[in-house]
Amino acid sequence: MNIMLSSNRRLHIVRISIFLVTVALIASAAGCGGSSPVEPQYITQLAAGSDHTVGLKSDKTVVAVGDNSFLQCNVDNWKNIIYMDAGGAHTVALKSDGTVTAVGSNGDKQCAVYGWTDIVSVAAGGYHTLGLESDGTVVAAGYNQYGRCDVGSWTGITQIAAGELHTVGLRSDHSVVAVGYDYSGQCDVGDWTGITQVACGDFYTVALKSDHTVVAAGYNYYGQCNIGDWTNIIQIAAGTSHTVGLKADGTVVTVGYNGLGQCNVGNWTSIVQIAAGGDHTVGVRSDGTIIAVGDNFYGQCDVADWSP
């Protein structure tokens, strides 16, 4: 049976059809109709500077809180970041293409890294910046008092760390090399062997050994080098005058200056990553939540909302 429709009736049906298709498209774009919801963004790496904290998110963007006097927290437009570090008053990041970007204090040219290429890791010190190249050599920028940037002859390096006035490199044979200010013995690392990670405090150096114990050298006024009885450590971090160790069971140990509560980590559990700043300590839990203790004068411990 054929039904003849008037032109007005046909136009009405066409309008209804267009409306229904539009609604379906909007619903699909909003995540309805079986499409996947937006995935939460997790913090995959932490770094802590003197008075600021930086977090690398799973979408390769970066967040930062704390002192921004030198614009060291202006990282909102960074993309494609795969690793980063925080220094005295500057922040450095490695991009997925092997180039490096930096913001913050640049009075000593510590942010002059824009010509660097083929970089696989970075480290930020008090007034200098390091870049590890894919061939195991190292480049440096910034203040070179005491020779902290004299790394041009280094080869076979697999990890780098920067302190206030010194620089440390881990070699592929698990030995360690250091340059820079050595008044407190922070560069006396020539006899270390079996090392798997290095970290620098302001005037001391800490290293994780393959047997999960820790060694340290340098300034020890606050007991920041008293790590001789640590065992089952899987990661280390060093602040201005405190040292942090992550244990295999997800708990955390600390030694050193605790005047601002930066060592109050005795109740931390399920931690998978740590970072130590000037006088604060930050950790990532296995569920992606972030925790921090210590100096919060600039809001450097306000990281709770980074949790997914």
> What is the count of structural domains for the chain?
1
pLDDT for position 41? 86
Residue 199 in domain: yes
Residue 68 in domain: yes
pLDDT for position 35? 52
pLDDT for position 140? 98
Residue 35: Cβ within 10 Å count = 10
Could you tell me the pTM of the whole model?
Answer: 0.88
pLDDT tens for each residue of the chain, 308 residues long? 333 333 343 334 333 343 333 334 333 444 444 455 667 789 999 999 999 999 999 999 999 999 999 999 999 999 999 999 999 999 999 999 999 999 999 999 999 999 999 999 999 999 999 999 999 999 999 999 999 999 999 999 999 999 999 999 999 999 999 999 999 999 999 999 999 999 999 999 999 999 999 999 999 999 999 999 999 999 999 999 999 999 999 999 999 999 999 999 999 999 999 999 999 999 999 999 999 999 999 999 999 999 88
Structural domain including 164 reads: 43-303
pLDDT for position 54? 98
Residue 8 in domain: no
In CATH, what number is assigned to the domain containing residue 198?
2.130.10.30
pLDDT for position 139? 98
Residue 50 in domain: yes
Residue 186 in domain: yes
Residue 34 in domain: no
Residue 63 in domain: yes
Residue 19 in domain: no
